[in-house]
Structure 1
């Protein structure tokens, strides 16, 4: 099977969409498929090459001249690679790939990662639309995507080909409360800082670590600076390998207002953190419905502070939630995500491609994923 993934870029910036797509491409190539990625490039090109994944340069920046050229360049990529499946992970890619089905015969798959964006409706142009959680699937159905197009492949990242050898724990002040998130308002960073201010008054040894970067970081730094506990709020910036922080974290918090799934939760669970997270979108699914972490209402600093304080007040309770986080981790593996994604491809190929027109080698590759 020839599989082409289309992404904006493959830079190593902690972007969950890129991470999942790179993981899938590597595992699919290892399974015997012929795989390529078309993007503007980035640090993951070396890893892809090691896994036998071809990279085509494709600039999809949303500027009129660039987009006109992108249509031509994408056509050249498809002409050269002859994919059976084109898998678009971002909006521009799915539009380009749909336009080119006029000239080429392939099945188009999209994955909806950020369904809260208005333009996510464009992902419905694909023949099959993969939702990263049941919450995302239900949202896309409400927005008019036909149920017969939608398939749920829940996110997961454990066992990623991108993972480096386990990092040594980073030395943190304990008890350590941490989040790994982009510095965006929707990630609930402001509410987490407010909640920590309340908790820190009674728990004088607790520290908060904010791991990540983004456009709103200066706003959050200003908020923290005004706090009476500013010396215990640490902005650590983007960390390409945050596992060392997670291994030293007592309580991991994901306070998002919107979150299709929350890939970082799988890593926090694997590291054995007690978890407090918003009861919104796909987060409850990532936490086994609340069995692997404490769920609180989003955008509610008081509820967040109460949950954190309860864990800090009772170390037996804290240890219990650390243990629960590490139970039932198998389903969060990237191998499971890949197998389910391949099943979606296989479904399309069986229905849309006449196997008698495919070479014997390609036929055997297709049958191997059944």
Structure 2
């Protein structure tokens, strides 16, 4: 099968959409398919080339003149590559692929990563729409996408071609007990509530430290918030880290305090590393945590509930170890190869003979 993936860029900046698409492209090429990625480029071009994935430069910046150029470039690439399947991971790509598809041409599949964005409704232009969690599929159904088109393929990152086996990473020497999050620095990631919760428990656990790993446009606001707390010296902003596994292996508690989260790729990595996990009970997070069996679930936007969960784990070493063990169970389904195989099954619905 000849497969094209379209996304905005392939930069190594911790973007979950990029990570999913790169994983799929590499594994599809490894299994013998002809695969190309169309994007604005980035660090993952080298990895893609190592797996035999062809990369075409396609700037999809949403400006009228640029989009006209992108449409012309896209048509030329399709003419050259002759895909059987086009898999779009973002809105501009699916619109281009749908509008410029000739009758009897390729099949079109889209993956909905961030359903909460209004533009996600355009992903319904595809023949099949993959939702990264049951929660995302239900939300897309409410927005009018036909259930006949929708398929659920939950995210999974374990065994990703983007990373080494976990045992090959050297844990960092963090001050413990160490609490960590790995997230983009956006308000929807709940960093405000995490800082507030840590301040709330700080005096009771004077040895605890908070490590915030990630970058983004709201980082300065979070740093300003942290600087005003009595525990500012114990809150560490680590920025983007290409090897977040080193933090996960070293921390005691991992927190994902998102307001909205289609699935949360980092949760599978935190589980593999054996962290005790606290996360918000929103969207696809419960699915990623086996509906609360693999991590404590708390309401979103509630720093008091988050603080109470931290206290529960920090107060009792046995409880902490129990939740670490629970997180590390039932990991097989989070393997990236399962995502790869289920995605190929969706393609074959459109082209059974291939």
With the length of structure 2 as denominator, give the TM-score of the two structures. Answer: 0.98
Alpha-carbon distance in 1 for matches of 2:285, 2:202: 26
Alpha-carbon distance in 2 for matches of 1:27, 1:140: 27
1:120 is matched with 120
2:84 is matched with 84
2:288 is matched with 286
2:301 is matched with 299
2:52 is matched with 52
* Displacement after TM superposition at 1:103 (Å): 5.6
Alpha-carbon distance in 1 for matches of 2:210, 2:47: 33
Gaps of 5+ in 2: none
| Structure 2 residue corresponding to 1:321, chosen from 285, 300, 323 | 323
Alpha-carbon distance in 2 for matches of 1:291, 1:245: 23
2:191 is matched with 189
Alpha-carbon distance in 2 for matches of 1:188, 1:39: 30
Alpha-carbon distance in 1 for matches of 2:46, 2:183: 25
Alpha-carbon distance in 2 for matches of 1:13, 1:223: 24
The SS at the match of 1:111 is: strand
Alpha-carbon distance in 1 for matches of 2:216, 2:42: 19
1:360 is matched with none
| Structure 1 residue corresponding to 2:204, chosen from 202, 205, 211 | 202
1:98 aligns with 2:92: no
1:218 aligns with 2:220: yes
What do the CA deviations read for 1:319-349 (whole angstroms, capped 9, x no partner)? 0000000000000010000000000000111
The SS at the match of 2:156 is: coil
Alpha-carbon distance in 1 for matches of 2:133, 2:40: 28
Gaps of 5+ in 1: 356-365
What do the CA deviations read for 1:180-203 (whole angstroms, capped 9, x no partner)? 000000000000000000111100
What do the CA deviations read for 1:37-63 (whole angstroms, capped 9, x no partner)? 011111111111110111111110111
Alpha-carbon distance in 2 for matches of 1:59, 1:240: 25
Alpha-carbon distance in 2 for matches of 1:260, 1:64: 30
2:31 is matched with 31
The SS at the match of 1:202 is: coil
The SS at the match of 1:146 is: coil
| Structure 1 residue corresponding to 2:258, chosen from 247, 256, 259 | 256
Alpha-carbon distance in 2 for matches of 1:188, 1:104: 46
1:239 is matched with 241
Q: Provide the aligned length of Structure 1 versus Structure 2.
A: 352
Alpha-carbon distance in 2 for matches of 1:267, 1:84: 33
1:362 is matched with none
The SS at the match of 2:13 is: coil
* Displacement after TM superposition at 1:102 (Å): 3.0
2:69 is matched with 69
Alpha-carbon distance in 1 for matches of 2:72, 2:243: 37
1:265 is matched with 267
1:135 aligns with 2:143: no
Q: Which moved more, 1:131-140 or 1:164-173?
A: 164-173
Alpha-carbon distance in 2 for matches of 1:141, 1:217: 34
RMSD, matched Cα: 0.8
1:333 aligns with 2:342: no
Q: Report runs of 4+ in structure 1 exceeding 4 Å deviation.
A: none
What do the CA deviations read for 1:64-99 (whole angstroms, capped 9, x no partner)? 111000000000111101001000000000000001
Alpha-carbon distance in 2 for matches of 1:164, 1:286: 22
Alpha-carbon distance in 1 for matches of 2:158, 2:102: 38
1:107 is matched with 107
* Displacement after TM superposition at 1:104 (Å): 6.2
